[in-house]
């Protein structure tokens, strides 16, 4: 590498890795962002593939199933679609999507707390909710807000 080459700005993945090594808060943002893309995608896809769990409808509280106009399995397909969408949204815009994930986890926790036998999973999901909020807080610094059509940052 020449001296002139050393002055060029580093772009792409090497820049992200360098910044993550030098800024612990940015490293946390990157780690949480990756986790909250992969986890919802994986869980959402598994609602259809049933590799990790073959009885997803078993996690729905009976009162929840009674409210549904369709079967518990159909509800799990809807849940899977929402989780896949959440993972994609976190990949695109974690500043906003992390709050969507946190709200989704809160709904899951409420369901689990009303159905005996799933308190351990509700506690785990509470930890995931806290992580989603941490991602949202970090994204306020590391993910740019949406801008208006003029290209200037939003003043809202």
- Domain ranges in the chain are 22-142
Residue 114: the pLDDT is 93
Give 71-89 pLDDT, tens digit per residue.
Answer: 999 999 999 999 999 999 9
What gap in Å lies between CA 25 and CA 40, rounded to an integer? Answer: 23
* pTM of the complete model: 0.81
The total number of residues shown for the chain amounts to 156
Which long-range contacts does 102-105 make (Cβ < 8 Å, 24+ apart)? 102/129, 102/132, 102/133, 102/136, 105/129, 105/132
Give 30-57 pLDDT, tens digit per residue.
Answer: 999 999 999 999 999 999 999 998 899 9
Give 105-128 pLDDT, tens digit per residue.
Answer: 999 999 999 989 999 999 999 999
């Amino acid at each position: 590498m020449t001296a002139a080459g050393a002055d060029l700005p580093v772009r792409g993945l090497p820049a992200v890795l360098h910044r993550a090594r030098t800024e612990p808060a940015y490293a946390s943002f990157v780690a949480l962002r990756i986790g909250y893309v992969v986890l919802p995608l994986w869980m959402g896809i598994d609602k259809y593939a049933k590799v990790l769990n073959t009885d997803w409808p078993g996690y729905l509280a009976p009162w929840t199933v009674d409210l549904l106009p369709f079967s518990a399995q159909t509800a799990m397909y809807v849940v899977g679609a929402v989780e896949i969408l959440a993972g994609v949204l976190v990949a695109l815009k974690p500043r906003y999507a992390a709050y969507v994930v946190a709200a989704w986890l809160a709904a899951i926790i409420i369901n689990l707390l009303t159905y005996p036998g799933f308190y351990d999973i509700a506690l785990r999901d509470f930890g995931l909710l806290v992580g989603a909020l941490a991602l949202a807080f970090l994204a306020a610094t590391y993910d740019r807000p949406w801008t208006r059509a003029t290209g200037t940052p939003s003043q809202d």
